[in-house]
Amino acid sequence: MNITALVVAAGRGTRAGDGIPKQYRALYGAPVLRHTLRALLANGDITAVVTVIHPDDLSLYQNAAAPLGDPRLQAPVMGGNSRSQSVANGLAACDGDVVLIHDGARPLLPPDALTRLVARMQTAKAAFLAVPVNDALWHGNGDQADRAQSRENLWRAQTPQAFDLNLIRAAHANSPEPMADDVAVARAAGIAVEIVMGDENNLKITRAADFALAEKIMGQNMDVRTGNGFDVHKFGPGDQVTLNGVSIPHSHGLVGHSDADVGMHAITDAIFGALAEGDIGQWFPPSDPQWKGAASDIFLRKAIERAGARGFTITHLDCTLVCEHPKIGPHAAAMRAALAEITGLDPDRISVKATTSEQLGFTGRGEGIAALATATLVKI
C-alpha cells in the first residue's frame, strides 16, 4: 500500500493574529509547518508528502521544509480560493493507493495515533482520527443557555483524514459546495468512513493562545541535547578565508582538505556531538578525495539532515572564532544570515562572535584560526 500525505497549508490563519500565516510562525524554534511535516515523515509507511501552499508563501515553505532534507518531500502545489479547491489541487498531484489529508497547522500529531490510522486503512476505504466529546453541550441564544444537546455518539474530528485516493479524488470533483471537512465530502459521495481514536494532544493551532498551549504540550516529553565542536585550521597561501559561509579578503588562506571553513566545521561537529553520532572526520574522511576542496555547507547540511531524521529540531547555534586577523565583527551579520539560510533557523537564534587570544599561542602568533561552537537540539 503506497501512502501519500497531503498537507493543506494554503490558509492565511487570520484568527491567530497579525504577522505571517500561523503555519510559518515559530514554535519551539522552528516553523509550525516543519513540525507538522516531521511528524508525518517519522512514519515509515508514508511514501511521499505533498504540501499545498499559498502562491505568496514559496520562500516561507522552503525555509520550513528544506532543512528536513527528506527525499519524500515533493514539490509544493499552489492552493486555490477555498480549502476545498486547495485540497482538490493537492489530490491531483498525489500518487499511490491512500492519501492522508492533514492540516498544516496541526504540528503535534502523536506517532501512535498516526500508526492506528494507517493500520485501519489496510481494510477501510476511508477513516479519520477523532476524539469523543466529553463535555456537556448546550445550544446558546446569544449569551444565554437555550437547551441541552446530547453528547452521545458525538466525536470531534481531527486530521489526518485518510481515504482511498481514487475515491476521494472523485468525491471532490463531484462535490456541489464547500463542506466542513473531507469526511463530509466523502459521506456526501456515499463513502463509508470509519472513526479511529485520535489524541487530545493532536492540537490544531487556530488562535494566538494556541501557541502557548502547543509549547506546553511539547514540553511534556522534551528531549534537549547540547553538543560542542572545536576546529583549527592554519594559514597558508591565498588571498581570502571562508568563515561560516562568508568569503573575507585576507593576506592568507586557510589550509584544509575541504574549503577549510573552520567555523562551519565546528558547528557541524557540535550538531553531530549532540546526536552522539561521531564527528565530521568520521562522516567525511579527509583521506577521501571526493571531499577535496568541498564547500563546508555540504557537511553542515548532512548534520542537519541527521538531526531531522532523528526527530530533533536545532533551536540555537553559537560559534566563537578565535583569531587576531581578519576582523570578524564587520562580517558577523553576514555569517549569521548565511547560517540561517542553510539551517532554516531565524538569525536571532544564531550567534557568531569573535575573540583574540591576547597574542598567545598559535592564534596569537597569527598562524591560524580556531573555532568553538555549541548547538542545542530539541526533540518533542
What digits encode the pLDDT tens for the residues 16-32?
Answer: 777 799 999 988 778 99
Query: Residues 123, 249: one domain?
Result: no
Query: Residues 210, 63: one domain?
Result: yes
Question: What pLDDT is attached to residue 287?
Answer: 86
Query: Residues 173, 304: one domain?
Result: no
Report the CATH number that the domain containing residue 97 is assigned in CATH. 3.90.550.10
Question: What pLDDT is attached to residue 29?
Answer: 77
Q: Which residue segment(s) compose the domain that 310 sits in? A: 223-379
Return the exposure string of 256-265: e unless at least 16 CB atoms fall within 10 Å of the residue's CB, then b: bbbbbbbbbb
CA dist., res. 28 & res. 209, Å (int): 15
Query: Residues 73, 174: one domain?
Result: yes
Question: What pLDDT is attached to residue 288?
Answer: 87
Report the CATH number that the domain containing residue 237 is assigned in CATH. 3.30.1330.50
Query: Residues 18, 32: one domain?
Result: yes
Report pLDDT digits (tens) over 124-174.
Answer: 999 999 999 999 999 998 889 989 989 899 999 999 999 999 999 999 999
- Residue matched to cell numbers 531565524: 346
Residue 221 three-state SS: coil
Please count the other Cβ atoms lying within 10 Å of the Cβ belonging to residue 269.
Answer: 26
Q: Is 187 exposed, middle or buried (0-12, 13-18, 19+ CB in 10 A)?
A: middle
Phi, psi of 347 (to 5 degrees): -55, -30
Query: Residues 192, 292: one domain?
Result: no
Query: Residues 205, 307: one domain?
Result: no
What pTM was estimated for this model as a whole? 0.71
Give the length of the chain.
380
Report pLDDT digits (tens) over 284-326.
Answer: 998 888 888 899 999 999 999 999 888 888 999 999 999 999 9
How many distinct structural domains can be found in the chain?
A: 2
Query: Residues 207, 285: one domain?
Result: no
Query: Residues 312, 198: one domain?
Result: no
Question: What pLDDT is attached to residue 17?
Answer: 73
Report pLDDT digits (tens) over 234-272.
Answer: 999 999 999 999 999 999 999 988 899 999 999 999 999
Q: 165-173 and 83-92 helices cross at what angle (nearest 10)?
A: 140
